[in-house]
Chain A
Amino acid sequence: EAQVTQNPRYLITVTGKKLTVTCSQNMNHEYMSWYRQDPGLGLRQIYYSMNVEVTDKGDVPEGYKVSRKEKRNFPLILESPSPNQTSLYFCASSLLATSGGIYEQYFGPGTRLTVT
Chain B
Amino acid sequence: GNSVTQMEGPVTLSEEAFLTINCTYTATGYPSLFWYVQYPGEGLQLLLKATKADDKGSNKGFEATYRKETTSFHLEKGSVQVSDSAVYFCALSRMDSSYKLIFGSGTRLLVRP
- A, B bound: yes
CB distance from A97 to the nearest CB of B (A): 6
Given contacts A42-B105, A50-B99, A102-B101, contact A107 B44 (CB under 8 A): yes
Residues of B within 8 A of A4 (CB): 43
Residues of A within 8 A of B103 (CB): 42-43
B34 in the interface (beta carbon within 8 A) = yes
A31 in the interface (beta carbon within 8 A) = yes
A45 in the interface (beta carbon within 8 A) = yes
Tally A residues with Cβ within 8 Å of B.
27
Contact (Cβ within 8 A) A100 B43 = no
Residues of B within 8 A of A58 (CB): 100
CB distance from B32 to the nearest CB of A (A): 7
A106 in the interface (beta carbon within 8 A) = yes
For the complex, give the distance between the alpha carbons of A102 and B100 in Å. Answer: 7
For the complex, give the distance between the alpha carbons of A4 and B42 in Å. Answer: 12
CB distance from A53 to the nearest CB of B (A): 16
Which residue in A45, A48, A96, A106 is a CB contact (below 8 Å) of B46? A106
SS of A interface (majority): strand
Residues of A within 8 A of B45 (CB): 107
Q: Which residue of A lies closest to B45 (CB)?
A: A107
Residues of B within 8 A of A99 (CB): 95-96
For the complex, give the distance between the alpha carbons of A100 and B94 in Å. Answer: 9
Residues of A within 8 A of B49 (CB): 104
Which residue in A90, A102, A108, A110 is a CB contact (below 8 Å) of B99? A102
CB distance from B30 to the nearest CB of A (A): 10
Contact (Cβ within 8 A) B43 A104 = no
Interface flags, A19-57, vs B, CB<8A=1, else 0: 000000000000101000000101101001010000000
Interface flags, B95-113, vs A, CB<8A=1, else 0: 1111111011110000000
**Known A94-B101, A104-B32; further 12 A-B contacts with Cβ < 8 A:** A31-B99, A42-B89, A42-B105, A43-B103, A45-B100, A48-B99, A50-B99, A97-B95, A100-B97, A105-B46, A107-B36, A109-B43
Q: Which residues of A contact B (CB under 8 A)?
A: 4, 31, 33, 40, 42-43, 45, 48, 50, 58, 90, 92, 94, 96-97, 99-110
